[in-house]
Amino acid sequence: MAEEISYDRSLLGVEHHIGTFPITADMILAFAAATGEVHPLYSDAAYANASEHGALLAPPTFSNIFVEGFRRPDIQLAFGEMTLFANQAIEPLAPIKAGDTLEARTKLQEVYAKTGRSGTMVFMVWETSFMNQHGTTVLRVQDSFVRRNRGKQ
């Protein structure tokens, strides 16, 4: 049975601007080094510059560098002691290139509880879209975080 969850429901569906992010070649190369990326369009500046794109491309999951750093609104969730990343859906819509500047907007899509063998968990689902300096939406991301109580150690 669904459990009543206490949180700031006024945030549901309300879009928030959460940052402006210049994307540099160094950031893309660091992302490649951190994730073991070897695709030359994402990891070899000379190759990418000579390609039809004319610049190093950000891999489709590049926006994940922001997952931990976003200043999302505090939903005042009165439940649980620890938060973990539960699910993610990424929808690349257009290339992101070194030199682009992205604007990120996010909204709280859903908050719901599930009870399983390890007890009750509360899921918070955020949908974030990234627009480049030309006004093109380049990426949509849905991040779901689970809040639960700590298990016995």
Partner 1 sequence: MNTALYYEDIAIGDEIGPLERTVTLEQVQTFLAIRSTRPGPTRFTDEAQARSEGLPGPIVPGAVNTAMVAQLLTGWSPTIRLKKLEVSFRQVVRHNTLLEIKGVVTAKQVVDQEPQVECDVFMENDEGAVHVMGHAIVVLPMRSRES
- The residues in 107-136 that bind partner 1, with binding defined as CB under 8 A, are none
Contact by Cβ (8 Å): 104, 18: yes
Beta-carbon contacts of 120 under 8 Å, excluding residues fewer than 6 positions away, are: 3, 79, 113, 114, 148, 149
Q: Does residue 33 belong to the site contacting partner 1 (CB under 8 A)?
A: yes
Find the farthest-apart pair of alpha carbons in the chain and give their distance in angstroms, rounded.
58
Q: Does residue 34 belong to the site contacting partner 1 (CB under 8 A)?
A: yes
Site string for partner 1, 75-94 (x = CB under 8 A): ------xx-xxxxxxxxx--
Least Cβ distance, residue 151 to partner 1 (angstroms): 7
Contact positions vs partner 1 (CB under 8 A): 27, 30-31, 33-40, 42, 59-62, 64-69, 81-82, 84-92, 150-151, 153
